[in-house]
Structure 1
Amino acid sequence: MMWSNFFMHEEDRRRRAHGARKARMTPEHEGKIKLALLLTSVGATLAVLAVGTEFWVELNTYRDNGSAVCDAAHLGLWKMCTKRLWQADVPAGRDTCGPAELPGEANCTYFKFFTTGEDAHIFQRTTKKEVNMAAAVIAVLGLAVMALGCLCIIMVLSKGAEFLLRVGAICFGLSGLLLLVSLEVFRHSVQALLQGVSPEPPPSPALTYEYSWSLGCGVGAGLVLILGSGFFFLLTLPPWPWGSLCPKWGHRAT
């Protein structure tokens, strides 16, 4: 009987403590946190889509090769796809082969420098594996920090641990910056690829390049995550600084 009363009192104490923690967060404040989390979830979706797809850049040969087919390629952080397209399918007025989304004979392979350390060869050009690997590692690190930020905000909403709100804001801001840095490093890897012409025959074809929608998703993800981080930081600020600038608003807030 004594032990049952002890456990009942202990459970009641924990329930009251949990209720007190939840009571510190007003429904209005909780709603703002959920709206900011919704914004960052859009950035998180774009980030996963960008990192997981291989349409970061398209490499296109020129059409005037005296053949009924032309070659194009598209690549991302993890793999590369070369495609042989029919000249008749290429839009009229376009000097280069593509876009890569056109139907054709495709050959997709993962980069071997993640496993065996070998460079990849595209149109008689060689990738600079150190730069490509750096871009991929930075992007994965950004996703990991982003996941940590999501966990912090979920703990704020479920457990009332508002001190994690600032930690989550830092994580989202850092993940956005890491994604943007990864994009810049990838841009340098593309430049290194175009300059890495192989001296061995056959001669390297002339190429043009254009950044594609996966890279656009990465840019959007980085900006949205940084914006969401700013919103979370604003939610951690006390109301009194704003009250001194706008007395009526500050009076309502208190």
Structure 2
Amino acid sequence: MSQTKTLKVRLTLFFILVGGMLAMVAVVTDHWAVLSPHLEQHNVTCEAAHFGLWRICTTRVAVQDRKDKSCEHITLSGEKNCSYFRHFNPGESSEIFEFTTQKEYSISAAAIAIFSLGFIIVGSICALLSFGNKRDYLLRPASMFYAFAGLCLVVSVEVMRQSVKRMIDSEDTVWIEHYYSWSFACACAAFILLFLGGLFLLLFSLPRMPQNPWESCMDAEPEH
């Protein structure tokens, strides 16, 4: 592999590494979405919530003299009450969380995200082994694993988005306002870096194409 192509491969792997770190941060944190209720009067306590793939956290914040009747943009500071979703921790009594998070959506999003991390790990193993002598061919399966990881991540993001939508539309919840937080942004950024990085890595790892129409791949001069 030429020095120019080696530099391109290493630069691509750096961006993929950043994408993998963002994916890990998105999976283990619980700031995918922030929910807030509608306030009927001023000087009340707003019970906002934020959640991720595994648990939901609620925070009570005192609201005073607000012109709008929502606590959508209130900073979630202070004491938090966090609880893992009931289907991940059956011992906890959180029936409202079991319903409002839409069990099938939550489990699907978490499982697909775990598959994404698995693809990242396998792709990283192939990438590390490719640094050995004459093992550049391992970059091609590594690139596919990274692309698959990005696709799994964007599917998990869409499943989570549908879960939030159903939660807001449900009449059994007090939350009517929502916005997506930094964990959600990390997942979206990780998808872009992993998917595009995988495609570019596959492109850079392919053998040099023949320069002349009558030249076959076997006849082309080997790269040094």
CA distance in 1 between partners of 2:205 and 2:95 (Å): 47
Give CA-to-partner distance per residue, 1:147-166, whole Å, 9 cap, x none. 11111111111454112111
Write the mapping of 1:46-125 to structure 2, written as runs, cut at 5 A.
46-88=22-64, 94-99=68-73, 101-116=75-90, 120-122=95-97
TM-score, normalised by the number of residues in structure 1: 0.75
Q: What's the secondary structure of 2:53's corresponding residue? A: coil
Give CA-to-partner distance per residue, 1:115-143, whole Å, 9 cap, x none. 32987525x96332111101000001101
The answer (yes or no) to whether the contact 1:70–1:84 under 8 Å persists in 2 is: yes
The answer (yes or no) to whether the contact 1:125–1:197 under 8 Å persists in 2 is: no
CA distance in 2 between partners of 1:79 and 1:211 (Å): 16
CA distance in 2 between partners of 1:57 and 1:209 (Å): 7
Seen in structure 2, the aligned counterparts of structure 1 residues 150 and 126 have a Cα distance that, compared at 3 Å, is same
How many residues are paired up?
Answer: 216
CA distance in 1 between partners of 2:115 and 2:175 (Å): 35
Say whether 1:194 aligns with 2:168.
yes
CA distance in 2 between partners of 1:244 and 1:232 (Å): 25
- Deviating more after overlay: 179-188 vs 60-69: 60-69
Q: Which has the higher helix share?
A: 1
Say whether 1:214 aligns with 2:190.
no
Q: Which amino acid aligns with 1:52?
A: V
Q: 1:132 aligns with which of 106, 111, 120?
A: 106
Give CA-to-partner distance per residue, 1:164-210, whole Å, 9 cap, x none. 11100100000000000001111121223234433xxxxx5351111
Q: What's the secondary structure of 1:71's corresponding residue? A: strand
Q: Structure 1 stretches of 5 or more lacking a match?
A: 1-24, 199-203
Task: Please state how far the C-alpha of 1:43 moved relative to its aligned partner.
Answer: 0.6
Q: Partner residue of 1:226? A: 195
**Which one has the largest radius of gyration?**
1
Seen in structure 2, the aligned counterparts of structure 1 residues 98 and 194 have a Cα distance that, compared at 3 Å, is closer
The answer (yes or no) to whether the contact 2:42–2:63 under 8 Å persists in 1 is: no
Q: Which amino acid aligns with 1:64?
A: E
Say whether 1:30 aligns with 2:30.
no
Moved over 6 A (4+): none
Q: 1:237 aligns with which of 206, 210, 218?
A: 206
CA RMSD of aligned residues (A): 2.8
CA distance in 1 between partners of 2:200 and 2:153 (Å): 19
Q: Partner residue of 1:180? A: 154
Q: What's the secondary structure of 2:87's corresponding residue? A: helix
The answer (yes or no) to whether the contact 2:123–2:142 under 8 Å persists in 1 is: yes
CA distance in 2 between partners of 1:65 and 1:158 (Å): 67
The answer (yes or no) to whether the contact 2:37–2:175 under 8 Å persists in 1 is: yes
Q: Structure 2 stretches of 5 or more lacking a match?
A: 214-219
CA distance in 1 between partners of 2:35 and 2:212 (Å): 57
Q: What's the secondary structure of 1:72's corresponding residue? A: strand
CA distance in 2 between partners of 1:100 and 1:121 (Å): 23
- Deviating more after overlay: 183-192 vs 51-60: 183-192
Identity of aligned residues (%): 33
CA distance in 2 between partners of 1:42 and 1:206 (Å): 34
